[in-house]
Amino acid sequence: MCCTMSAPKILDLGSLKKACKTCGLHDLCIPLGISDEELNLLEQIISRRRPLQRKEHLYRPGDRLHALYAVRSGTVKTYTLTDDGQEQVTGFHLPGELLGLDAISDGAHPCAARALETTSICEIPFDRLQELSSRIPGLQHQLFRMMSREIQTDEHFMMLLGKKSSEARMASFLLGLSNRLGARGFSRNEFNLTMSRNDIANYLGLAVETVSRLFTRFQSAGLVRVERKLIMIDDFDGLLKVSGTHTVEDVVTARDTAS
C-alpha cells in the first residue's frame, strides 16, 4: 500500500511519541507479560499510522502481509468476499485487538479490513516482530496466546452460528460488545453501534430485517433501549437469559402478550 514514503524512522513525529508503556490498552494488547526492557525493544519496531478515516481500508484481500495491526481507538471491520462477490463480515475489532493474524499462513491477507469510524492504528512489521519473538520468550508466548485466544473465540462463535436462534445471537452480540467495551474503560450500559444494521446482520448470519425486528422486540421486552445507533442496556440478566439456552419465551411473549 504505502511503502515509498516511509523511512525506517517513523516514530519521530510528536503525535506518534506515545508508546505502549503509556497506552491504556497495554494490558489487553501485545505488551502483556513482558518486561520493561523488552517492551522498549518492542516499542522500537511499532509505529503509528495516520489515522484511518471512516470507510478507509487498512488492507484488502490479497495484500501481502506486511505488518500486524493493533487498534488503538475506533473500530475496524474485517470481511471477505464470497465467490459471487458478496461481502461476509468476519469481525468487528475494538481498541487493543490485533488484526491480521489470519494472513500469516499465506503471507497475504485473506480478508479486508476497513475503518467504521475514524480509527487510530499501531503497525507492527511482522518480520521484525517474529525476529523479536525469537529473542523474547515472553513475547513469543504472548503471541501464541493471542492467536490461541482468537481460535477459541472463533470456536465459540461457530457455536453461536450453528446452534443459536436469532434472538440468542443478537443478545450474545450485544453482551459481547458491552463486555469488550467495558474492559476498555467505556460504559457497559450505553454505547454506540459503529456498524450498520446490515453489518450486524451479515456478521450474525441473519437478514437485515431480522436484526431490525430483534431490536424492536428487545426494546418492547424492556431489555434495551435503542435510539438509532445508541444502545442502552437495561436488563443484563434478561439479555443473558435470552443469549443462553432459552430458545423462546421471555422476549417473544413479551411482545405477543402486548399485542
Partner DNA sequence: CGCGACCTTGAAAACTATCAAATAATGTGG
Partner DNA sequence: CCACATTATTTGATAGTTTTCAAGGTCGCG
According to CB under 7 A, which residues from 131 to 170 bind DNA? 165-167
Q: Is 8 in the site for its own copies (CB under 8 A)?
A: no
In the complex with DNA, the residue whose CB is nearer, 9 or 228, is 228
Is residue 93 within 8 A of residue 153, CB to CB? The reply is no
Contacted entry of its own copies, DNA, none for residue 150, CB cut-off 5 to 8 Å set by kind: its own copies
Which one of 56, 244, 253, 256 is in contact with its own copies (CB under 8 A)?
A: 244
228 binds, among its own copies, DNA, none (CB under 5 to 8 A by kind): DNA
Complete DSSP assignment for 129-169:
HHHHHHH-HHHHHHHHHHHHHHHHHHHHHHHHHHH--HHHH
Residue nearer to DNA on the CB measure, 73 or 166: 166
Query: From residue 105, how far is each of 65, 82, 100, 217 by CA, in Å?
Result: 10, 20, 10, 42
**Distance of alpha carbon 63 from alpha carbon 111, whole angstroms:** 9
Q: How far is the CB of 61 from its own copies (least distance, A)?
A: 12
Element housing 241 (H / E) = helix 236-243
Applying CB under 7 A, does 211 fall inside the site for DNA? Answer: yes
Instruction: List all residues 6 or more positions away from 229 whose beta carbon is below 8 Å from its beta carbon.
Output: 192, 193, 194
Q: Collapsing DSSP states into helix, strand and coil, what is residue 193? A: coil
- Check binding of 145 to its own copies (CB under 8 A): yes
Q: How many residues bind DNA (CB under 7 A)?
A: 23
Question: Which segments of 82-133 are extended strands (E)?
Answer: 87-93, 98-99, 112-115, 120-125
Question: What is the phi/psi pair of residue 29, to 5°?
Answer: -115, -165
Using the structure block, give the residue that is written with the C-alpha cell 493493533. 70
- Binders of its own copies among 12-71, rule CB under 8 A? none
Site for DNA (CB under 7 A): which residue of 35, 148, 152, 198? Answer: 198
Cell of 65: 502481509
Instruction: Give the interface segment with its own copies, choosing from 10-18, 129-137, 178-186, 230-238 (CB under 8 A).
Output: 129-137
CB of 51 to its own copies, least distance (A): 26
CA–CA dist 255, 212 (Å, integer): 15
Torsion of CA 245, 195, 117, 79, to 10 degrees: 80
What amino acid occupies position 23?
A: C
Residue 102 binds what, of its own copies, DNA, none (CB under 5 to 8 Å, by partner type)?
Answer: its own copies
Give contact residues for DNA (rule: CB under 7 A): 165-167, 196-198, 205-213, 215-216, 226, 228-229, 247-248, 252
Give contact residues for its own copies (rule: CB under 8 A): 80, 82-84, 86, 88, 90, 101-106, 110-111, 130-131, 133-135, 137, 140-141, 143-152, 154-155, 157-159, 161-163, 202-205, 244-245
